[in-house]
Structure 1
């Protein structure tokens, strides 16, 4: 086969791939042999079409990797900076744990006896707990007065809280969320998580439409503004509404920064950087605990975790857009400038025809739906027999063992949806309905276990500051170790183990004898479960994406995020069940972990 010349490197890739799926109009355009498309025989039992978008995406990634390298100084620099955004969002998600730490409280002393000793006041006035008080004139009472039989109990309207932390106030104290209003703590928390749920689902569409860079930095600004307004809330309604915006922004920042990081690198580095991108999360737990220990007032704490991120806004000007997004959008001039800067920093020499190569890899519009008719396959066979020239060299072979066009096209065996087809119908069609249902179960159970433990570790007792620091340190080590585990045993086995072990640990907490006397053992098991399942947060998005063809891949991952958002809103109410039975929340999380592991086992083994 003759080597391609310079002119032949400009392959009509979009047209060629359209022909591969039997596009008649594209067939007419190939009057001169320009592209040799290698395709494997389709399985006889199913008339399935080649996944054109998936092949094109692989070729685009291969083109960029050949020019920039799979990883280099440019990628490492920006991956490290972008990981910091995970820390900002984690602090906003996690700060509510410290803003609602329980304090001792009692009915407020009357104006007629403001200086009465607290112990004396509580003994005289509140025989039935802190939510009611005897209706008496306490200025006339003595320490020995017997009032229990002659006075009526009335409901408290004002409360005083313990001043062990000095003048610091919590959200509970600020808005009086006690005595019949305790449930509002879960409602306030749910407001943030509801915003996060919507953000997790919509962030993919927003970043696809407006780009990773502008979506990320735009919502960083929203995060800063809403976080600041939370600190200056004048009432509970304002606090709740601002928390919705903060939750939406925080989850969008989390998702988009992750996507941008993995789109800057190629090859095995996508898995490695995807996991390392989550490393700031446990580190932020440690930092959050340290800050909260010294800044006890909830308003000051909110400002302390919000305002420092103003220093990140100048990155908006310098931050690169995702090269894969620029290529997919056909914004070649912007891509040329980015590639030249990145190659210079990576000390790589661009080939003289690199612009033609990128132009060839840019997707061509396909006006009509893809079909897999027998006539189209016959046309493809005839065209293949006529082709004499090769694709551009980077599409034929990779010095790093990357995908060839043959492998990219022939490696796909799943049915491909039409590009105008409703994606909801696609993910629930006869080929993908099982995958989608299992995907929903996995995301739902994963988030219930992880955030159920993360946001409510204080419910298990012990020192919340110390427990958070220990859990964060162990989880950071677990995330680092998981890289080697994934590379060694694969994604699927790692995910199953990281779901099964936490589930067993959660159930084991209920087997600890005389649980109240063995609180250390309970907390230790919970921390182990939290740290192990934390590694799945970095792995599950990539694994889910592998289950779907490109044309519905974002929607498939979005379905998982929808389940995750539902789980986020359920977490606060799950912990209210401890008032019914203290063992229920940990039992539910244990069962969820086991169900999630079984669901992962039943999913397709896409690695083999």
Structure 2
């Protein structure tokens, strides 16, 4: 029986066509880091105090220091209060200096920030004092957008197609990403960030499908993880970009506008032929395969191409199918937990690694370098040890590192930083493994729906991670204990999954276990025909 993998072998396992496709999928990933964590660099905390210019009406010759001493109360450390001032009075300057002011009030006239500080999101929208939590809220709104994107783009790409949904994702990122630079109000900013999150989620999960469905069995991890490496490089680029551009609106344009250059994808991005076959669009699938073979300088024999037919039992899937069939239910539940644990420990450690002793830009550069090393290592680890072992063991190791941190004295900052950085490395490898593993476990007709559901679990834990860190105010070990304990348990559950290394991608929902590639392999021979091997 001819499998779809035979057509990929005929086209070329990872030829020029697939290499160009991976390149196209990589380009948006360079900007993913900006949308995911760029807000750190546009909400920069700066010294501030209440606007007390009212006193200038009675004391125009006061120095700045004298003005602040007369109008601002001090905290227990002797520093000026940032969120309160003395209430204005109708006295003359002499009376104010003699008797002083006692009644305090909030900063009803606004705040004063360092004049040399470039405009940031914090200073422009006064995200201080009573509104200081809005910055964290906006990040949660962005994560909500990622969740909504996983919920919508997963099923839609299974029904409508990978290509149109990918193009729509890019359009949303570009349009609303640049639009953020012109928002007049912070709540509009949050709404636009939510839409950008939807677009980012769409590009992430559809990249997974296109990168796996166009390549051969041995090249799947490489194709997926190369795109992840570009995301890690994007983190390092973000450090330099944000260091050079301090005005938040200009930085937003610089991090989003390049996405408009990718609109040429309308003419060059191919649809997945594997998905086309599941939809019965055989002629379109043949044209896509023939074009790919031509680019790779191969030829598909007519007798093989004639065998490209839709399977009678193949039908469109829905999210309910993931829970109706026993084997898909197990995969869905365990892989959703795996993605949840990946995201939980990844964001938990990323937000808690503060012992580098570097400024925010060098720290971001270090984070990107650690991630890049983890992504590259993942390619070889999956080839050597398979998917199940790496997924399980790396989650276990990430969890154990979190638990070990709880046993280290608080004053051992260097040791904690080394352990946390190692945990970030292992969680990065585990996250990349989950992408590859998920694509190989779910069938084509419902692959994006399954990946979208798993991505939703990751987004939920991404929202929970900073909230769990707040529990550290009760005891410092609580957050790491939660991160570590949950990840260890889920790592053990992953041993129940089947191994998918060396197996063909499933197309329909009838297969309970991954199937090894057909022993009859059609191998391309420099365009001169195919050699049939048994």
8 Å contact 2:205–2:448 — kept in the other structure? no
Aligned-partner Cα distance in 2 for 1:212–1:115: 68
Map 1:116-135 onto structure 2 (within 5 A): 120-124=66-70, 125-128=72-75, 129-135=81-87
Note the C-alpha offset of 1:536: 2.1
1:429–1:336 CA distance, 2 compared to 1 (3 A): closer
1:340–1:552 CA distance, 2 compared to 1 (3 A): closer
| TM-score, reference length from structure 1 | 0.73
In structure 1, the partner of 2:312 is 364
1:460–1:356 CA distance, 2 compared to 1 (3 A): same
Aligned-partner Cα distance in 2 for 1:136–1:103: 25
8 Å contact 1:295–1:301 — kept in the other structure? yes
Structure 2, gaps ≥5 residues long? 76-80, 502-513, 515-534
Q: Does residue 544 in structure 1 map to residue 494 in structure 2?
A: no
In structure 1, the partner of 2:46 is 103
8 Å contact 1:90–1:284 — kept in the other structure? yes
Q: Does residue 217 in structure 1 map to residue 111 in structure 2?
A: no
SS in 2 for 1:133: strand
1:449–1:308 CA distance, 2 compared to 1 (3 A): same
Map 1:62-77 onto structure 2 (within 5 A): 62-77=5-20
Map 1:252-271 onto structure 2 (within 5 A): 252-271=202-221
Note the C-alpha offset of 1:110: 1.6
Greater RCO structure (CA 8 Å; 6+ sep): 1
Note the C-alpha offset of 1:540: 0.7
Aligned-partner Cα distance in 2 for 1:476–1:330: 40
Deviations 1:85-139 (A, max 9, x none): 2222232112112122322222123244389655555444122421111124599
Deviations 1:438-474 (A, max 9, x none): 3332222211121334466569874221111112112
8 Å contact 1:199–1:251 — kept in the other structure? yes
In structure 1, the partner of 2:186 is 236
Map 1:40-51 onto structure 2 (within 5 A): none
Note the C-alpha offset of 1:357: 2.6
Aligned-partner Cα distance in 1 for 2:90–2:341: 54
In structure 1, the partner of 2:509 is none
1:185–1:598 CA distance, 2 compared to 1 (3 A): same
Deviations 1:340-388 (A, max 9, x none): 3221221212213344132xx333367xxxxxxxxxxxxxxxxxxxxxx
Q: Does residue 490 in structure 1 map to residue 386 in structure 2?
A: yes
In structure 1, the partner of 2:527 is none
8 Å contact 1:177–1:185 — kept in the other structure? yes
1:226–1:330 CA distance, 2 compared to 1 (3 A): same
SS in 2 for 1:279: helix
Of 145, 153, 171, the residue aligned with 2:104 is 153
Aligned-partner Cα distance in 1 for 2:382–2:475: 38
In structure 1, the partner of 2:459 is 565
8 Å contact 1:293–1:465 — kept in the other structure? yes
In structure 1, the partner of 2:341 is 445
Aligned-partner Cα distance in 1 for 2:7–2:194: 38
Aligned-partner Cα distance in 1 for 2:137–2:477: 22
Deviations 1:454-496 (A, max 9, x none): 4665698742211111121122112111211111111122112
SS in 1 for 2:49: strand
Aligned-partner Cα distance in 2 for 1:87–1:187: 25
Deviations 1:238-291 (A, max 9, x none): 111111111001110111122112122111101221222211111111001111
Of 360, 372, 375, the residue aligned with 1:479 is 375
Aligned-partner Cα distance in 2 for 1:446–1:210: 29
Flag the structure with larger Rg.
1
In structure 2, the partner of 1:330 is 280
SS in 2 for 1:535: helix
Aligned-partner Cα distance in 1 for 2:268–2:450: 32
8 Å contact 2:48–2:113 — kept in the other structure? yes
Q: CA RMSD in A?
A: 3.2
8 Å contact 1:323–1:338 — kept in the other structure? yes
In structure 2, the partner of 1:525 is 419
The count of residues paired between Structure 1 and Structure 2 equals: 493
SS in 1 for 2:228: coil
Aligned-partner Cα distance in 1 for 2:245–2:61: 28
Q: Does residue 595 in structure 1 map to residue 495 in structure 2?
A: no
SS in 2 for 1:89: helix
| TM-score, reference length from structure 2 | 0.83
Aligned-partner Cα distance in 2 for 1:311–1:555: 29
